[in-house]
Structure 1
Amino acid sequence: MKRAYEQAQESDGYRVLVDRLWPRGVSKERAALDEWMKAIAPTPELRKWWGHDAERMSEFAHRYCAELDGNPAVDELSGIIARHPTVTLVYAAKDPKVNHAEILREYMAEHMYDTEPGCVDVGK
């Protein structure tokens, strides 16, 4: 995982923007993305309800995981992860712990390795 405002590095491997909105003030060249997966991000309704409020993080995680459970973009991201030795999830949120990319990373790890389905227990 890496913020869109951080310098891209060769070690990032395949860079995937996982936000529905383009990061403010970041050019396409600076972003150095390989892919932009808007569909993997939380729905606008869920994102607005959450508002990056740390106190809502646990409930947000459960709601976002429920969205991911029915989202075909999960299989698309699984394919990207399977084809590339290193994949960096790029996000724009300020807080490295209060953002949907953290939840997505954990969700994908569970999805890819067939562990018990569930959601990240955050905010505790």
Structure 2
Amino acid sequence: MVQQDARLDRIFSALADPTRRQVLARLGTAPATISDLAEPFAISLTGMTKHVRVLEEAGLVVTEKVGRSRRCRLGTERLDDAMAWISFYQRLWERRLDGLDAYFTLRKGIEQ
């Protein structure tokens, strides 16, 4: 469980930054080099490398050295762990809200 929590922490921390979310969106269309990714943000290659490293540590991006550049693509894990966590709590809250709705419906019927 602790390992799972650490993985989720890395994923949500990586997703907390808007630049990294945009990098993921860009990589969703096709693999790209660090230079390609840095260009629309007008940030240094070092800055983009740091963003990519955070995504890579979270398992969201995979990089490989090709000649003098580093090619990035979406990781195979993607957001499965995060989606499972979100889905669990979504179902939990839906059940609770359904129960609350049933309670108010019952109360409304009693008051009439």
Fold shared, TM-score > 0.5 on shorter chain: no
Shorter chain as denominator, the TM-score bin is under 0.3
Task: Give the greater-gyration-radius structure (CA).
Answer: 2
TM-score, normalising length: structure 2: 0.28
If asked which structure has higher relative contact order (CA below 8 Å, sep 6+), I would say: 1
Bigger helix fraction: 2
TM-score, normalising length: structure 1: 0.26
